Every structure is written in structure tokens, then in C-alpha cells.
Chain A
Amino acid sequence: MERYYFDHNATTPVMPEVLEAMLPVMTEVYGNASSIHHFGQAARQKLDSARVQVAAMLGADPQEIVFTSGGTEADNLAIFGAGAGGHVVTTAFEHPAVLAAAETLNHTIVPVDGRGLVDPDEVRRAVRAETKVISVMHANNELGTIQPIEEIARVAAEAGVLLHSDGVQAAGKIPVNVRNLGVALYSISAHKVGAAKGVGALYVRKGTPIQPMLHGGRHERGRRAGTENVAGAVALGRAAEWLAAHGEAENRRQEALRDRLEQQILDRIPGTRVNGAGAPRVPNTTNIRFDGIDSDALLIALDLKGFAVSSGAACSSGAPEPSHVLLAIGLNRLEARSSIRFSLGRSNTVEQVDALVEALAESVAHLRKLSPAYA
């Protein structure tokens, strides 16, 4: 059976160009980047080059980039490293890496509107004298909606508070320039952009006070202890470089595919609507509600036909819960549990999209035929 992957917001395959760059690092440039000898210096050079590439992708200076073990650590480092001991303002539809971290501190959660957007005025109202960090994601992982980070940055600046943005689902999909955005902290993850799992980065604007979470060495300018994952950093750097050269064209291609998928679903399958349609969105994501459908059943039926999609965040046992993101934009539990996220990537083609629509039409019709609730 042919299998087609439409879950690139969960993770992406490593790009061939990236694999080519990172493989020799593991076997040949294996030195510890902190070592003084030749082997260490060779690794350090690779690490520094990767840092330059990642900084360039974000419009930052290389010394502002802290490599981490991934998006979760970058988010945690931002929240705990800058927010500990103070108050944190964040939003109802953040990734758990931000939300669960903020919930361990004194915090306020700002609501999200029905389009999937955060209102900067709501953020302003939530800020208190003791607020240290505002954290608002750049693009939502399930809806793809792009948040008004520049405006929220003005709110943060007026209040004299640091702004963190989780850019895990934005970087690589839309142009990101941390200076223009006005953020002090910005998280990215390598495996969402065609690089390897187990590496990410936190942009830390020059002069931003941040306490390390990991202790045990002066790595990453004292902001993150632990022997550097040089191969991982090289992978992220190479992916950043690839995106700089080809990202715009590839994103336009994916956007056309996404629009085709969305339009065909809306045209051919009755009782469908796009969640978060009224907001600007990243080019590869669409989240669609199928009235009267249990999204778990639809996801499994599609997987058995070879199509991988997503129905919401998985819990520890792998049994899906209704998505907190969809509940946050005002869907009820039933509506949230009838929604599917499709996220496209470099491997997807027009033929795959058309085959997906066929499979969807068939499975949705079958499920509705069985459902007494759907008239």
C-alpha cells in the first residue's frame, strides 16, 4: 500500500541535503566542541557555522542563538529562564511546552477569539506590575493562524515586559525576522523544518537576562549546559540555509496544494468548514470540521487507507483528547472531536492531494451512513 504523509506539523522527514550535511559530522567531526585540540576545534567550527546559518534565518546575530534539545526545551528555557519568580502572561491555545510551564508559575491565560487570533488588547489587560514574560505563539500548530506578534511586542515594550514567541510552527513556513517582530525570545524546532529530532534553538535578544535550567558547564555562553549536539545543530543550520534559498518557492507550492485540498473538501463533502479560516495562516496547514464525524474514527479509517493526518494532541496512552486549541476558539467538545488537521510538506503532490480527497469523501460518507446522529 502506498502511504502518504499529511502530518508535517507533527514532524517532517530529514531532507536529503540535510542528511548529507549531518552524516559526516557524526563519524568524522566527532570532537567535543569544548575541547582545545584539533578535533574539538573542527567540531566548534561546524557548530559556529550552524549558528550563523540559524541566526540568518531569524534575522538575529549568531551569539543570540542558544541551541537546545528541541522546541520544548527552548520554550521551557524562555518561560522559566526569564519568568521564574514573576508573573507570566500567555494564551489559551499555546503548545503544552509553554502552557504547562507557565502553569507552574504565577500566570494569567489570555483568551483567543473564534478566528484563532489573540487580541493584543487582551494581552495588555492581563499584564501586571510583577509580569516578567508575555508568551504568545507565532503560528498555531493546529490551525496555522498567524498571531499579531508585532502589535503584542508594542504592548510588551510599553509595559517593560519581555516577549517570548513560540515560533516552532512559523519558522520555515513564513518569513521570520526577530528584530521586526520585536521579540526578546523566540523558539524554533529542527525536526519541523526538515532537520533532525532532538535539536532546537532559542533566540535570546542581546542583553536579555535569562537563567539557565541545565547546570554543569559554560556551554552556549552559560545559558545551556551540556555537550553540544553538533550534528543536530549542523542539520538545523543546513535546513535554514536550504529554506533561505528555496523556502519561498516551496511554501507557495504548498500553499497552492493546501488551497486545492481545502477547496475540494469544501466543494465535494457537505457539512464541512475550515477552523480558523478568518485569520492569516501559514501556507501548509488547514484544519477542517466534518459535521457528525468522530475524528478518531476518520483518522483510523484514513490511516488504514494509507493517509496520515492528525485529530488533535495525543495524550500519553495515545488516545486522543479533544484539542484544547479547538476548545479555545469556541468549538464545543463534539465539534472539536469532529475536526482533522492536514499539514502539508515537501513530499506532497497534486496527485496525493486528489487521492486524499477521494479517500476522505468515501470515509466520511461511510461514517455518516452509520451515524444515527447525522441526518
Chain B
Amino acid sequence: MPESPLAVAMSGGVDSSVVAGMLRARGENVIGLTMQLWNQRRLPEIQSDKASGRCCSLDDVYDARAVAQHLGIPYYVVNFERDFEDQVVKPFIDEYLAGRTPIPCTLCNNFIKFDRFLEMARGVGADRIATGHYAQIRWNADNGRWEMLRSVDRARDQTYFLFGLKQDQLARSMFPLGGMEKSAVRELARQLGLPTAAKPDSQEICFVPNGDYAAFIDAYSREQGMSREEAAGELVTADGRVVGEHEGVHHFTVGQRRGLRVAAGEPLYVIATDPASRRVVVGRDRELLSDRARAGGVNWVSIAAPAEPVRAEVKIRNKHVAAPATICPTADPERVEIRFEEAQRAVTPGQAAVFYAQDLVLGGGWIE
């Protein structure tokens, strides 16, 4: 009887193809599974002819299947469209309409890839899963915890999106690319003769064409028959002066400069959005600075929940350079206060704050 099977989440991209290929080459009993998450033929008014460049297109399923055939592994498509819509797409839209800037990839990791998918894999007999994420997992025998670390290829590191993983999820997950440079992954894809070796990397939020999330929200709302006629509102300054008009708070995110259409002496930025009054507050760059943030829904990854304040470097968006801060527990175990050593620009509600100690991911939460 061979080793118990291992399920690889195959998106049809080069990274997960290489994961399947390297595990197969290592002699693992690999099963390929592709998650069907979103029907790309929905919302035809926002589709472009480049629809094949995104996840869950028929081309991606075709590519994943071609890789599985090349490797000679069993391969199946599993349909999680319902779960994805309920647990990722709808919260994504609700967050935007509530004036926050959400991260659907984290929701997808928390509720789909490391929950539904893990459950499906176990159901079919695979107790472990492997994905193409750039992150590292290791067992720390001293404190008896699974730890998560940034990937060796710093530019590809995806730990910012993985802070929600619990110990039991980490215990059954493998990230074989975490120790590799992307260039080495491409090279390995060529050596393994994978049909996806030269496929371009995917970008953007997978279900939103061309990154135009405002158009997606409008189209989805129309499809669902949601009433959105009163989205328009005013642009105001912090002291309440009306300086312009806008077509809906979901078009704006904190720190944004583009699309304000206000003539002012100096550049103006979005400071905050308030869906209740449908107001977008604009101001000067320095008004974006803040040295504190609160985070809710906190999950501690590599360490147990601390009772005392801990020093960490904190990332407040994916492309942010982690800034030194102190994480202070509050009376609510799921909520912390973050005190930055230096004020940070555009602390944005809805984004994640992820706490690092050098490469180690301590934990993270949602900025409130």
C-alpha cells in the first residue's frame, strides 16, 4: 500500500503545477484537484476578451488537467462556487459597501482553500494538502506549535494572506515552494516538461476582470437586484467643507488620489469613507498619517496569544514594508491595539495587519 495520498490544489498556473510535479517526482501518491470557484460567464457586461487570463476559466482547468495527464496522476474538478460566493464574494462586496477595503484572498484561504478544500481532500482519503503558496511551515518542538515563515523569495511572499491559518490547518498543509526562488520554480517546470512552464503569472483578484472592482460590485448588485440607486454622495474635507461629488463610496479606498476630480492647491487624498452619510472625506497627504490602529478577529499563528504587549514588525497592506510596533492585547482576546514607532500612511479599515518577528509570522488581524 503506497503512502496515503496527498491532494494538490491545482489552479492551472505554473506554481501549483510545479508543486504537483515535484511531489510526484518525490514518489508521493498525488491527487490533483482544481477548485471551480466562480463562473466566469456570469456578469457578461464586465467581461473582456481577456477572460481566459483569470482563475476558473475553462483554459485554466484545461491547463491543470494537461499537467495532471502529463504527470499521470488522478485529477478532478471540485465545485465550490456556492461556498466561494457566500464566503468570499458577498463579504467582499459588503465590506466595500461598508466603506472598507477588503482582501478576498485571505477570506478564500480561510474559508475555501484551508477549510472546504481541506475537508474535501480528507473526504476522498488525502489527509494532507499541498498548494503553490509562497510561505514556509515548520514544526517547533520546543513550544509544540506549527510556525509560519516568510518565503525565501521575498518578492513572492504570501504570508500576508495566510495569517488566518489555525494550527490544525497548518498541520495538514504543505507549501513546497516556500524555500524556492520563483526563477527556480520556472526552471523546475521546464525540467519536468510541464505544459504550463511558460504560462504568465496571474495577477489581480481572480474573479474581478481587469482589477475593476467597482464595476464588478455594480454588475453583481444589478444581477442580484440589489437597490443601489442612492450610491452618489459628497466629497468633503475633514472640517466638513463640500468640495465635490462622487458616484458611490465603493469607488474609493483610503490613501487613493486617482479619480477625485477636485481642483485644489495641493494633491488631495481619500482620508476616510462613511457609507452611512455617503461621504468621502478628502485631505492632504499628512492627514493620512496615524501611529495607532486597532485590529479585530486576531489569529495567533507561530506563538500562543500573548498576555503582555509584544514587539513586532507590522505590515498593514501587502506591499507595505513592515514597520516596528508594539502589539497590545485588550480585554477582548480577539482584539489588539497596534502602536507604531513611527506614524504610518493610510491605515485602511478592512485590510489586514500582520505581525512578524523577522521572518516568523506571529499572527494578524483585521484593521478596524
Contact = CB atoms under 8 A, between A and B. Distances in A.
A367 B120 CA distance: 9
Contacts of B74: 303-304
A317 B31 CA distance: 18
Interface stretch (A20-28, A107-115, A273-281, A318-326): A318-326
A160 to B, nearest CB: 40
Given A294-B120, A317-B58, A318-B61, A301 B125 contact: yes
B36 A319 contact: yes
Contacts of B5: 304
Contact of A366 (B56, B79, B123): B123
B78 interface: yes
B123 A297 contact: yes
Contacts of B79: 296, 319-321
Contact of A297 (B65, B77, B120): B120
What DSSP secondary structure best describes chain A's contact surface? helix
Interface residues of A, number: 17
A266 interface: no
B54 to A, nearest CB: 14
Nearest to A316: B58
Nearest to A314: B77
A300 interface: yes
Contacts of B218: none
A370 interface: yes
Given A316-B58, A318-B77, A370 B119 contact: yes
B119 A296 contact: no
Interface in B64-103: 65, 74, 76-79, 81
Contact of B123 (A318, A320, A321, A367): A367
B122 interface: yes
Interface string B326-364: 000000000000000000000000000000000000000
A300 B124 contact: yes
Residue from B36, B74, B76, B124 having most chain A Cβ neighbours under 10 A: B124
What DSSP secondary structure best describes chain B's contact surface? mixed
Contacts of A318: 61, 65, 76-77
Contact of A317 (B36, B120, B124, B125): B36
Interface of B: 5, 31, 36, 56, 58, 61, 65, 74, 76-79, 81, 119-120, 122-125
Interface in A62-83: none
Contacts of B65: 318
A300 B76 contact: yes
Interface of A: 294, 296-298, 300-301, 303-304, 316-321, 366-367, 370
A59 B110 CA distance: 61
Contacts of A304: 5, 31, 74, 124-125
A296 B125 contact: no
Residue from B5, B56, B120, B125 having most chain A Cβ neighbours under 10 A: B125
Nearest to B123: A297
6 contacts: A296-B76, A296-B120, A297-B124, A301-B123, A318-B61, A370-B123
Contacts of A301: 123-125
Contacts of A317: 36, 56, 58, 61, 77
A269 to B, nearest CB: 16
A361 to B, nearest CB: 15
Contacts of A297: 120, 123-124
A296 B76 CA distance: 10
A305 B210 CA distance: 42
A370 B58 contact: no
B123 A294 contact: yes
Contacts of B119: 370
A320 B78 CA distance: 7
A321 B5 CA distance: 26
B58 A296 contact: no
Contacts of B58: 316-317
A303 B73 CA distance: 13
Residue from A300, A316, A366 having most chain B Cβ neighbours under 10 A: A300
Contacts of B56: 317
A294 to B, nearest CB: 7
A320 B58 CA distance: 14
A367 B5 CA distance: 16
Contacts of B36: 317, 319
Contacts of A367: 123
B144 to A, nearest CB: 25
Contacts of A370: 119, 122-123
B78 A366 contact: no
Nearest to B116: A294
A42 to B, nearest CB: 41
Closest 4 CB pairs of A and B: A297-B123, A319-B36, A319-B79, A319-B77
A274 B311 CA distance: 61
Contacts of B125: 301, 304, 366
Nearest to A299: B76
Contacts of B77: 317-319
B77 to A, nearest CB: 4
A75 B9 CA distance: 39
Nearest to B78: A296
Contacts of B120: 294, 296-297
Contacts of A300: 76, 78, 123-124
Contacts of A294: 120, 123
A296 B33 CA distance: 12
B20 to A, nearest CB: 16
A367 B90 CA distance: 29
Contacts of B124: 297, 300-301, 304
A318 B69 CA distance: 15
Contacts of B31: 304
Contacts of A319: 36, 77-79, 81
Nearest to A303: B74
A214 B125 CA distance: 49
